Amino acid sequence: MRIDHPWQQEKLLESLPLLPLSAQISRLPSDRFPGLQDLNELLAHETDEVRVRNGKALRFVPQDHGKLPFEAQYEPRCYLHGEVQSRENNWHDLFNALVWLAFPSAKRAINVRHYAALTSVRQGTGRSERGAIRDMNTLFDESGVVVPYADEGMADLLRGFSWKQLFWLRRSEIGLSMDFYLFGHGLYEKVLNPYIGLTGQGLLLKVDRAFFDLPLPQRLQRLDESIARYLDDPAHCMTTHELTPVPLLGIPGWAAENEHEEYYEDTRYFRPGRRIHSERSAT
């Protein structure tokens, strides 16, 4: 999929990678690029009001510029006031807003970890550790892919960079024992104009097989809750190595080229090798 026009709603709705945001995209205007008012109207029509962790209702506001006091900076302002600074006519910030709507619990958890880390640095405590926490949260927030799985063997193939074995030899099991859902708003922007090398950072979440039979809204809700539990756990988010690389164009159905076996033999994209990976899959 390539987006050559500022807003092609039908094309977005047909894109498999954008499936987690399809409900939100379908409710946006079809004839123009959505603005902050459109996004705030989506918030107003949510069955359960979206709030940040301290209870403030979420809303999208114009971005401030220049040197700002701590309370007015991006993450503190979101945490303290529920205000997400967003640029108009900007894909990156649009997708950030849509992810807030699709995964509110997970986004709240990310904001909490950022705010706590920034506060501790401001107070002069835990600087290096808090920097690592922010690095992991930022990487997931920008480039994260949620990977629910019920088959440990498939999870091992993903962690072990065994791309052909996973995506070709076991491709019929994708969607049944393992699946992939984009989370990172930076990644959503990149898939508008995909390229060889496009890679996400996967957070593996153990689920039961019945998960894959649920309707999409229920799957997304379950994932949202699971991501939030993972991110809220003080033992997690200590290193970016908790995330596993995912070559997105190898996922069956996400690129026409991967209908051919030889596609997975391009080692410039599907790099071989195995790295040491700590067991940090969530349940």
| Amino acid symbol at 129 | E
Per-residue pLDDT at 129 = 55
| Residue 176, φ and ψ in degrees, nearest 5 | -115, -35
Residue 38 to residue 126: CA distance in whole angstroms: 40
Pair 202, 230: CB distance under 8 Å? no
Q: Which sign, positive or negative, has the C-alpha torsion 93, 96, 102, 105?
A: negative
Q: Please, which pLDDT band fits residue 272 given cuts at 50, 70 and 90?
A: confident
pLDDT tier for residue 132 given thresholds of 50, 70 and 90: confident
According to the model, what pLDDT value does residue 280 have?
Answer: 44
**Does residue 103 carry a pLDDT above 70?**
yes
Using DSSP bridges, classify how beta strands 83-86 and 144-149 pair: parallel, antiparallel or unpaired: unpaired
Question: What is the pLDDT confidence band of residue 2, given thresholds at 50, 70 and 90?
Answer: confident
Residues, the chain, total?
283
| Euclidean distance between CA atoms 43 and 59, whole angstroms | 7
pTM beyond 0.75:
yes
Strand partners, 144: 201
Strands annotated E in the chain: 59-62, 83-86, 144-149, 181-182, 199-206, 244-247
Neighbours of 74 (CB within 10 A): 16
Share of the chain above pLDDT 70, in %: 92
State how far the Cα of 255 lies from the Cα of 194, in Å rounded to an integer.
9
Which pLDDT score is estimated for 65? 85
Report d(CA 233, CA 173) in Å as an integer: 30
* Interval 139-163: pLDDT, tens: 999 999 999 999 999 999 999 999 9
* Chain segment 37-72, per-residue pLDDT in tens: 999 999 999 889 999 999 999 999 999 888 889 888
Is the predicted pLDDT of residue 249 greater than 90, yes or no? yes
Question: Residue 71: which residues within 8 A CB-CB, separation 6 or more?
Answer: 77, 80
Q: What does the alpha-carbon distance between residue 2 and residue 256 come to, in Å, rounded to a whole number?
A: 13
Between 132 and 247, residue with greater pLDDT: 247
| Residue pair 98/24 in contact by the 8 Å Cβ criterion | yes
If we measure between CA atoms, which residue out of 199, 269, 255 comes closest to residue 1? Answer: 255
Higher pLDDT pick, 280 / 188: 188
